A = this chain, B = another copy of it.
Amino acid sequence: MPKIKIKTKGHYDFIDITDEVAGIVKKSVVKDGVVVVFVAGSTAAITTMEYESGFINDIKETLEKLAPENADYKHHQRWDDRNGAAHIKSALIGADVAVPIEKGELSLGTWQKIVLIDFDEKPREREILISLLKG
């Protein structure tokens, strides 16, 4: 299974992976179907969005109000870490997205990108799994 490995900085690191996914789709035999993009881990998420610095700032602010990074979480009592907020955002947004493939290309909107968000409290090396499904 094709994989994308990415070093992230954590703390709301938004990384546009559209080109990498599109490249894998282009090389595959699937011309019509679906690509499932999945991040292994429970402090990151995958979604689609416009990749624009102003918007990234906006969504960060909304998520920070919902679950602030520096608040106290029960999860911190279990492990020696401070990433409770990261777990919450990851579970809400989700680890996977399924994007249609048409004529060997991703069928996204003009500004719609596939984005990995790393919410963790420290840099991580992330593994993103790319599953190609024939329609």
A112 lies within 8 A of chain B by Cβ: yes
Query: Are A92 and B90 neighbours in the complex by a CB distance under 8 Å?
Result: no
Q: How far is the CB of A86 from chain B (nearest CB, A)?
A: 10
A 39-64 binary contact with B (CB < 8 Å = 1; else 0): 11110000111101111011100100
When C-beta atoms are compared, the residue in chain B nearest to A51 turns out to be: B42
Q: How far is the CB of A92 from chain B (nearest CB, A)?
A: 6
Chain B residue contacts of A112, Cβ below 8 A: 40-42, 95
Query: Are B48 and A74 neighbours in the complex by a CB distance under 8 Å?
Result: no
A47-B129 in contact given A42-B111, A52-B78, A77-B54 (Cβ < 8 Å): no
Where chain A touches its partner, the secondary structure class is: mixed
Interface residues of A (CB under 8 A from B): 1, 32-34, 36, 38-42, 47-50, 52-55, 57-59, 62, 66-67, 73-78, 84, 87-88, 90-102, 107-109, 111-113, 115, 129, 131-135
In the assembled complex, the Cα of A84 lies from the Cα of B77 at a distance in Å of 32
What 10 pairs across the A-B complex have the smallest Cβ distances? A54-B74, A41-B109, A40-B109, A49-B91, A55-B75, A100-B129, A54-B75, A42-B50, A57-B74, A58-B73
